[in-house]
Structure 1
Amino acid sequence: MPNERGSLVLGVLCGAAAGALWGLVFLAPELARAFGPLELTIGRYLAYGLISAALIAPRWRSLAATLGAGEWRALAWLALSGNTLYYILLASSVQLGGAAITALVIGFLPVVVTIVGSRAEGAVPLARLAPSLLLCAAGAVCIGWQALFLPSTRPVSAQLAGLLCAIGALASWGAYAVYNNHMLARVKAVSSHDWSLLIGIATGAQSLVLIPLALLLGVRGHGAGDWALFVAVSAGVAVFASIVGNALWNRMSRLLPLTLSGQMITFETLFALLYAFAWEHRGPTALEGVAFVLVVASVVSCVAAHRKPSNPSTAFAGEGRRSRRRPGAAG
């Protein structure tokens, strides 16, 4: 029982740390606003791929021997849904509609992933997760309320386009989160960190394919200062959000069931807003403060739901052992 509780706490800490690093990606489009979403995606993931290749090089032969065609296809799909396509849509949403609208929609990821995870065999019943899901949804609505209903300097058409891009990003990353958990349960011979690096290599290869498209669409002229900022932002996001953040997320995915790991995505929204406040040199409004409380309460209630036995005769240790056999979590 102590081991199960220890894994629960460690998993939550890894999820919170991953969210803190992933929140940085909401700032990147603002920091390098001179560059478009496609350019930002290429810069970030080309750096991610190069760094991943350098880190994995000493173990490449042994790792490659454990991977078949099915695993490589999965890596390509995960790279597309969780990185390339997701970030193009997210960056477009931030630049068109603003960070708040984007954070609002992405804030519903925990609800989507948790509902999908509740269908797994032996998962915590959805009824026990309902309070957590309601708190999460309420927090997401509070976070985006001001952006949606208060006057904005952005055109309505731009906000609508940003909202549609955010919904696309939500669907793309939701599919990634579910399938990545499934694959981590299958490739037990590969560590969570190495799996993240392999996804990085696949993503880097996809970014190379996007370069001709960017050139075809036309790259705007930029000064030396713009390019220096672009390289710094791309490398920073690649290291902290992609390398370290993804490794922490994969570690968490092997410690927690999908119904709980889905809630950990909430931390990305929370930290994204905190970084936005720092960038704008202001504190949270009353409504945003309420949202933070709801978000934290959502995660806490979800953790509590997973620590309670399913019935008086069921011990938590037994539930923990069953969770390791679910498709969404690796043992």
Structure 2
Amino acid sequence: MSSSPPPASSIRRGIACGAAAGAFWGLVFLTPELVRDFTPGQLAAGRYLAYGLFAALLIAPRLRSLLPRLGWREWWALSWLSLLGNTLYYVLLAQAVQLGGMAMTALVIGFLPVAVTLVSRGGAGAVPLRRLALSLALGVAGIGCVGYESLAAVSLGGDAAGLARPGALLGFGCAVGALISWSIYAVANSRWLARRADLSAHDWSLLTGLATGAQALLLAIPAFVLTAADAGGAPAHSSEAWWRFIAVVTSVAILASIVGNAFWNRASRLLPSTMIGQMILFETLFALLYGFAWEQRGPSWLEAAAMVLVTASVLGSVRAHRVHAPAPAAHAA
């Protein structure tokens, strides 16, 4: 049984929410550069401890009414969704940024529209794959440019900005791992939101924060305690570095994990499953903007080509969905 595509008005609102989520999510690519002397595990633990704390504070007034509506299936889903979409994803992403740079990582993550489209086949409002063939081909070409540049950085001992990136290939591998992890999360999370339509997108985001915060408590042990033990108990960072770390992870927890996730969950309910992944374009573009500003450079020709190809891929997919959307007048308010 096929489902009708969403109305054009819902698509416009969904795109606006996707753009807002991308603007906030793009900040997570900058975080590993702001506190480079901390490990990816410490960044993930710190960010998600803060996320869990704020989520608990925000959901506390409604938790008593929500708990009876949640069974073990929901908590299990929240746990593995949190692992794929938050904890594991961010550890891999932070490692990719520190090893391969922000631009490379952002462009690999920009391949998410292609990956999510392929994973989400058969979902509600899905456009036939043949109508997305050109869009998918452009996305594959874009990621090919990024992969080639990463391999070139390894062979030349540097990247387009003239910076030594001896771990560029490993960074590329971590970025691909993050891509796979988040692709599965995006589709599964969208389906759970549809399954539990009685729960608001904001509440689902905060419940995800609770599950992620619990995972961060477990991650904090090897990330902080065991790291200090391996260092002989000597302080690895100054007090100034710790305060900067706390400020950065707290800010990204609020802006990316709470505000950004709320916009994303709203977009997930407004857009069809094959289109929601296309909204990652905004995260990619904002991350590139932040990254080039941080590195004080423009894109290399391969990065520029990848940006054009990925953008064309996403716009082509958006057009394929909008062409087959019903007229706004046919939609009851």
Task: Tell me how far apart the structure 2 counterparts of residues 121 and 66 of structure 1 sit (CA, whole Å).
Answer: 25
Residues 100 and 147 in structure 1, CA contact (< 8 A), matched pair in contact too: no
Task: Tell me how far apart the structure 1 counterparts of residues 75 and 133 of structure 2 sit (CA, whole Å).
Answer: 37
Q: For residue 251 of structure 1, what is the aligned residue in structure 2?
A: 266
Q: For residue 194 of structure 2, what is the aligned residue in structure 1?
A: 185
SS in structure 1 of the partner of residue 270 of structure 2: coil
**After superposition, where does 1:1-331 map in structure 2 within 5 Å?**
4-120=7-123, 123-142=126-145, 145-150=148-153, 151=156, 152=158, 153-154=163-164, 156=166, 158-214=167-223, 215-218=225-228, 221-309=236-324, 316=326
TM-score scaled by length of structure 2: 0.87
Residues 52 and 214 in structure 2, CA contact (< 8 A), matched pair in contact too: yes
Go from structure 1 to structure 2 and tell me whether the alpha carbon gap of 1:162 and 1:42 turns closer, same or farther (over 3 Å shift).
same
Task: Tell me how far apart the structure 2 counterparts of residues 183 and 243 of structure 1 sit (CA, whole Å).
Answer: 18
**Structure 1 residue 198 displacement after superposition:** 0.6
Unpaired runs of at least 5, structure 1: 310-314, 322-331
Residues 103 and 143 in structure 1, CA contact (< 8 A), matched pair in contact too: no
Residues 110 and 310 in structure 2, CA contact (< 8 A), matched pair in contact too: no
Task: Tell me how far apart the structure 2 counterparts of residues 76 and 29 of structure 1 sit (CA, whole Å).
Answer: 25
Q: For residue 327 of structure 1, what is the aligned residue in structure 2?
A: none
Residues 103 and 288 in structure 2, CA contact (< 8 A), matched pair in contact too: yes
Q: Which deviates more from structure 2 when the two are superposed, residues 190-199 or residues 295-304?
A: 295-304
SS in structure 1 of the partner of residue 7 of structure 2: helix
Go from structure 1 to structure 2 and tell me whether the alpha carbon gap of 1:80 and 1:34 turns closer, same or farther (over 3 Å shift).
same
**Structure 1 residue 19 displacement after superposition:** 1.2
Task: Tell me how far apart the structure 1 counterparts of residues 300 and 181 of structure 2 sit (CA, whole Å).
Answer: 30
TM-score scaled by length of structure 1: 0.88
SS in structure 2 of the partner of residue 316 of structure 1: coil
Q: Which deviates more from structure 2 when the two are superposed, residues 43-52 or residues 274-283?
A: 274-283
**Structure 1 residue 125 displacement after superposition:** 0.3
Task: Tell me how far apart the structure 2 counterparts of residues 105 and 297 of structure 1 sit (CA, whole Å).
Answer: 15
Read off the aligned partner of 1:173 and give its amino acid letter.
Answer: W
Task: Tell me how far apart the structure 2 counterparts of residues 155 and 270 of structure 1 sit (CA, whole Å).
Answer: 22
Deviations 1:181-220 (A, max 9, x none): 1100111111101111110111011111112222123375
Unpaired runs of at least 5, structure 2: none
Task: Tell me how far apart the structure 2 counterparts of residues 61 and 136 of structure 1 sit (CA, whole Å).
Answer: 45
**Structure 1 residue 180 displacement after superposition:** 0.2
**Structure 1 residue 285 displacement after superposition:** 4.2
Q: Which deviates more from structure 2 when the two are superposed, residues 20-29 or residues 140-149?
A: 140-149
Deviations 1:224-266 (A, max 9, x none): 1101110111011101110011111100000001111111112
SS in structure 1 of the partner of residue 91 of structure 2: helix
User: What is the count of residue pairs matched by the alignment?
Assistant: 313
The sequence identity of aligned pairs, in percent, is: 58
Q: Which deviates more from structure 2 when the two are superposed, residues 218-227 or residues 52-61?
A: 218-227
Residues 24 and 255 in structure 2, CA contact (< 8 A), matched pair in contact too: yes
Read off the aligned partner of 1:123 and give its amino acid letter.
Answer: A
SS in structure 2 of the partner of residue 254 of structure 1: helix
Deviations 1:144-166 (A, max 9, x none): 6544425314454x223222222
Task: Tell me how far apart the structure 2 counterparts of residues 9 and 139 of structure 1 sit (CA, whole Å).
Answer: 26
Task: Tell me how far apart the structure 2 counterparts of residues 269 and 148 of structure 1 sit (CA, whole Å).
Answer: 21
Read off the aligned partner of 1:124 and give its amino acid letter.
Answer: V
**Structure 1 residue 143 displacement after superposition:** 5.0
Q: For residue 312 of structure 1, what is the aligned residue in structure 2?
A: none
Task: Tell me how far apart the structure 2 counterparts of residues 259 and 35 of structure 1 sit (CA, whole Å).
Answer: 36
**Structure 1 residue 132 displacement after superposition:** 1.8
Read off the aligned partner of 1:22 and give its amino acid letter.
Answer: W
Task: Tell me how far apart the structure 2 counterparts of residues 278 and 185 of structure 1 sit (CA, whole Å).
Answer: 38
Q: Which deviates more from structure 2 when the two are superposed, residues 108-117 or residues 212-221?
A: 212-221
Go from structure 1 to structure 2 and tell me whether the alpha carbon gap of 1:291 and 1:101 turns closer, same or farther (over 3 Å shift).
closer
Residues 66 and 189 in structure 1, CA contact (< 8 A), matched pair in contact too: no
Read off the aligned partner of 1:35 and give its amino acid letter.
Answer: F
SS in structure 1 of the partner of residue 177 of structure 2: helix
